[in-house]
Structures are given as structure tokens and as C-alpha cells.
Amino acid sequence: MSPVDSWSGRRVRLRGIEPDDWQAFKEFDAHSADMRSGDMLHPPRSDEGYRRWALDEATRPPDGDEFRLAIATARDGVLVGTVNTVDADPRAGRFGYGVAIGHRHQRRGYAREAIGLLLAFMFGERRYHKCEVGIYAFNEPSLRLHRSLGFTEEGRLRDHEYLAGAHHDLVLLGLTADEFAERRPFPALPDVSGGSER
């Protein structure tokens, strides 16, 4: 992670959604299996509907600690996905998130790095204690990713969602700030004193 920019890593940079991103989001939604893995299958949307959605996202201020960011490649700025926080509860110190990577950009480490950048911000800057996520039991790649990031399975909601003609379990996983920091220590603050006074 760059010491100058907390939102950039080796592979990705997290940024706000721009109105011109609508075409990439339309392309992401064209893959039905990806839509089901992250949420559910939605009816087709018009180009104008995508334009309005992107404009709304681009101009919407964060709602406390709930926000959505675009995931772009660090090298050339190509939009590859999105990450958003949900259910942020500062009193209890927990939050959740969703991450989605467009079909042709998957299996390149983009989700892993985007999640790491988001967790570093929420744990290290916003003082949250725990992150909780729910992943469909059939989404084995996402379950493997989250387990490799240190998430622990905490439960399972049986027959919780209905997709593709059947009910599916939702696997609940959690990660604490301390568990995150064991694997990825928070960066030290830079020395801004300019040297000792004489």
C-alpha cells in the first residue's frame, strides 16, 4: 500500500463512482451468474437507467460510514468492480460490506486487495471492531477468499435466499480488527515533525 494514498494498492485503486462509469456497470450486469453470486438477478435496465444510477452514485454523499466505491486498476484506471459498506453500527463497532468484480476481471487479486484497503480504513481510521459478511454457500470462490483473509465462519442461515429455482444457505463470517492487524499491521504514521527543535 502506498504511504501517500491509503486508497491505492499494487493492483487496485478505490475511488468514487463517476457518471461515465455507467457502461462498465452495464457490462458487469450482463453476466447473470455474477449477479446471483453477489445479490440476485435483476431485470434489464436501459442505458438511461444506468446513466441515472451512475450519476446518482457519483453525486450521493456518504451516509455516515455507508458508502460505495469503484475498484479501478492501479496501472491504467480500468473500472473492474465495486465495493460498498453496509450495516455500519458505530455503537456496536461492526459493519459489513459487499464486493463485486466484473466477470472478465476476476481471479486477478483485485477483490482481495480492495477488501484489504477497505478493512484498513474501517478498522484503522473509523475505529470499527468487527466486520461481518454473508456469502451464499454456493459461492465457493468467495468463501475461499474470505477464509484466506482470516474470516471465521460464525454460522449459517439455512435456505435463506431463493435464486435460480432453489433455496440456498447464507454463510456468515466475521473478522475482528485485531485479527486483521495480525495479518496486516496498520502503517506507522510518517514523521512530520521536520526534525528536532534546537
pLDDT tens digits, residue range 14-40?
999 999 999 998 988 887 776 666 676
Write out the H or E segment, with its range, that includes residue 112.
Answer: helix 110-124
Closest to 146 (Cα-Cα) out of 170, 111, 120, 177: 111
Is pLDDT of 191 > 80?
no
Supply the DSSP string of 10-71, one letter for each residue. SSEEEE---GGGHHHHHHHHT-HHHHHHHS-------HHHHHHHHHHHHHPPPBTTB-EEEE
Domain ranges of the chain: 12-183
pTM here is: 0.89
Asked if 56 and 68 touch (Cβ cutoff 8 Å), the reply is no
Residues with Cβ < 8 Å from 109, sequence gap 6 or more?
Answer: 11
Structure confidence at residue 28 (pLDDT): 85
Structure confidence at residue 197 (pLDDT): 52
Total Cβ atoms within 10 A of residue 54? 21
Is pLDDT of 57 > 50?
yes
SS3 195: coil
Task: State how far the Cα of 66 lies from the Cα of 150, in Å rounded to an integer.
Answer: 23
Confidence band of 112 (pLDDT split at 50, 70, 90): very high
Residue 172 bridge partners (DSSP) = 134, 155
Return the C-alpha cell found at 66.
455507508
The answer to whether domain 12-183 has CATH 3.30.300.130 is: no
Return the C-alpha cell found at 87.
450495516
Structure confidence at residue 35 (pLDDT): 67
Instruction: Return the sign of the alpha-carbon dihedral for residues 54, 59, 65, 66.
Output: negative
Is pLDDT of 196 > 60?
no
Asked if 38 and 98 touch (Cβ cutoff 8 Å), the reply is yes
Structure confidence at residue 145 (pLDDT): 97
Residue with cell 450521493: 60
